[in-house]
């Protein structure tokens, strides 16, 4: 969460966060889809953030 906050504080409108782990891909997809959903629904002090997961990346966009 601190990484996302840093990007928001720097005024970035779009950014990617690389996922580095050794989890099995089938588990990773389920878990990081849920992470993306939760981050998209988190209150970011008025910022609307859409987060998606694909191929070991969380893609974040302010809208």
Q: Is the pLDDT of residue 1 over 80?
A: no
Among residues 3, 8, 19, the alpha carbon closest in space to that of 63 is found at: 8
Q: Which domain holds residue 11?
A: 2-62
1 burial level (CB within 10 Å; 0-12, 13-18, 19+)? exposed
pLDDT at 5: 94
Mean pLDDT of the chain, nearest integer = 95
Number of separate domains in the chain: 1
Dump pLDDT digits (tens) for 4-41.
999 999 999 999 999 998 999 899 999 999 999 999 99
pLDDT at 11: 95
- Please tell me what DSSP assigns to residue 46: T
């Amino acid at each position: 969460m601190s990484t996302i906050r840093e990007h928001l504080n720097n005024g970035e409108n779009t950014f990617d966060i690389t996922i580095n782990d050794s989890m099995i891909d089938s588990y990773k997809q389920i878990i990081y889809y849920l992470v993306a959903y939760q981050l998209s629904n988190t209150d970011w002090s008025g910022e609307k953030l859409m987060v998606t997961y694909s191929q070991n990346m969380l893609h974040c966009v302010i809208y």
